[in-house]
């Protein structure tokens, strides 16, 4: 008989933790327990990709009537009902959370709706007062958005708060230039909110391919998002407390009527930018970074090594510096994507419970940014590839058939980065409606090591946007 209560205790009920728990229990017969202090499903299902993608879908309908009229349909513009959408959204999130709970119970995993912390290498302390022991402990507590350190930052929202707004603001200032900031800028603009975005860097979406992010920035501005790069804020105050001299322009009382935000602040927010300008916004959203949820878990007391920002340091098998304790997902700050956390959970089970040591492959992971238009990417950017070796760049940007017919200015981009020496496609970047769907298929080819000639031998599907990926014959740049 085991001297432990469980073979595995998982801390965290997000996608990675739930997958590891149910596979370990269901496929290996291990005795498994899981503790979650909030809602099951984690960031992705409750506060991230799922509700955000549903908001993307909702926001895209705002452009549909104008496009439809260009194609002969007698469709009038309508109004978006935030409350109707929000009710349906909450029902869907409740349904998905119940699915996660059923998956765990169906696999024989015992669950605790409680916060769990580490007491020793084999013991967890629950907020209910109970202690449980396990041969192995897996930390899968994810991450959270953080506010910047500046006066008045508490007046602003973070991404988690968007889903709890009692009503949509009339105007919003978004601080940040990463994918979360840009996605919510496009979403809120599509839902009818006047959106201003400040980013301190020279161009949004740092780390992505320069040509791709430039096209997205141009498109965002063209659609009406007031995007300012090289700009940040230095101070925020309740607008009611701002001196008359601080106001950039007269404020209409009806536009900024007092209301209670999710954070409890009443009324609009006055902000001062680094360029000296001031303005008032109904809401301010900080999308300036995320932090691993490693605080107050008892890690330091056990000697578990932490890295920058509080990430849990692990080896290739997700093992911490304490042999019985492992960590996966955003709390390790490796590649913060839901499918990666799931892969890490599966590799953990293979390694620990199936006797098949398996390292997670973090190379050539396709991903998507759900701006409008979307960006899909896999592999190296042109800039990163140039630092590595001699390359050829195949790229084209054009107005696709559907929007060109409707006399819309939207452009798309298809781009391949090719090694001169091996002819392998080192990177593929797509900016277009549905780019996330396209990049999944392109990702398979790039992961398999396809060459440019493999792409060339593939017959085009016509007429489509994606056919350009297999019809580009001459490089536009080399070096």
- What are 35's strand-pairing partners? 11, 112
Token readout for 445 is 């080819």
Question: Exposure of 149 by Cβ count < 10 A (0-12 exposed, 13-18 middle, 19+ buried)?
Answer: exposed
Token readout for 64 is 């549909």
Terminal Cα-to-Cα distance of the chain (whole angstroms): 65
Q: Which CA distances in Å does 244 have to 185, 267, 425?
A: 29, 16, 58
Count Cβ neighbours within 10 Å for each residue of 412-436 and write b for 16 or more, e otherwise: bbbbbbbbeeeebbbbbbbbbbbbb
- From CA 68, how far away is CA 75, in angstroms rounded? 7
CA-wise closest residue to 373 among 428, 427, 438 = 438
Angle formed at CA 477 by CA 368 and CA 374, multiple of 5 degrees: 15
Catalytic residues, which ones? 462
Token readout for 14 is 């997000």
């Amino acid at each position: 008989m085991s001297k432990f209560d469980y073979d595995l205790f998982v801390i965290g009920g997000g996608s990675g933790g739930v997958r590891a728990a149910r596979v370990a229990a269901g496929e290996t017969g291990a005795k498994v327990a899981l503790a979650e202090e909030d809602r099951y499903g984690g960031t992705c299902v409750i506060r991230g990709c799922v509700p955000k993608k549903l908001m993307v879908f909702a926001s895209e309908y705002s452009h549909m009537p104008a496009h439809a009229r260009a194609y002969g349909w007698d469709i009038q513009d309508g109004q978006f009902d935030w409350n109707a959408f929000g009710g349906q959204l909450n029902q869907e999130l409740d349904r998905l959370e119940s699915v996660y709970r059923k998956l765990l119970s169906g696999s024989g995993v015992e669950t605790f709706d409680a916060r769990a912390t580490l007491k020793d290498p084999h013991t967890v302390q629950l907020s209910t007062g109970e202690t449980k022991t396990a041969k192995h402990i897996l930390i899968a507590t994810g991450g959270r958005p953080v506010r910047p350190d500046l006066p008045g930052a508490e007046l602003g929202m973070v991404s988690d708060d968007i889903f709890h707004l009692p009503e949509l603001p009339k105007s919003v200032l978004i601080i940040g230039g990463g994918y979360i900031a840009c996605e919510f800028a496009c979403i809120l603009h599509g839902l009818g909110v006047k959106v201003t975005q400040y980013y301190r860097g020279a161009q949004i979406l740092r780390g992505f391919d320069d040509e791709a992010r430039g096209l997205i920035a141009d498109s965002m501005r063209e659609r009406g998002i007031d995007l300012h790069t090289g700009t940040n804020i230095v101070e925020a105050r309740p607008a009611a407390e701002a001196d008359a001299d601080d106001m950039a322009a007269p404020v209409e009382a009806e536009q900024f009527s007092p209301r209670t935000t999710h954070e409890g602040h009443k009324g609009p927010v006055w902000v001062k930018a680094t360029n000296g300008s001031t303005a008032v916004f109904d809401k301010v959203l900080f999308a300036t970074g995320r932090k691993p949820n490693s605080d107050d878990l008892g890690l330091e007391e056990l000697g578990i090594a932490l890295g920058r920002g509080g990430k849990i340091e692990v080896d290739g098998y997700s093992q911490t510096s304490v042999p019985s304790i492992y960590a996966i997902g955003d709390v390790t700050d490796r590649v913060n994507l839901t499918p990666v956390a799931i892969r890490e959970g599966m590799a953990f089970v293979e390694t620990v419970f199936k006797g098949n040591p398996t390292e997670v492959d973090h190379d050539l992971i396709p991903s998507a940014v759900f701006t409008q238009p979307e960006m899909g990417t896999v592999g190296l950017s042109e800039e990163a590839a140039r630092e590595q070796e001699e390359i050829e760049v195949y790229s084209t940007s054009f107005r696709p058939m559907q929007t060109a017919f409707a006399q819309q200015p939207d452009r798309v981009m298809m781009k391949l980065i090719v090694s001169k020496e091996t002819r392998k496609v080192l990177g593929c970047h797509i900016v277009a409606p549905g780019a996330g769907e396209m990049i999944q298929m392109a990702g398979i080819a790039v992961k398999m090591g396809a060459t440019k000639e493999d792409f060339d031998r593939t017959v085009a599907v016509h007429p489509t946007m994606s056919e350009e990926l297999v019809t580009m014959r001459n490089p536009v740049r080399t070096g």
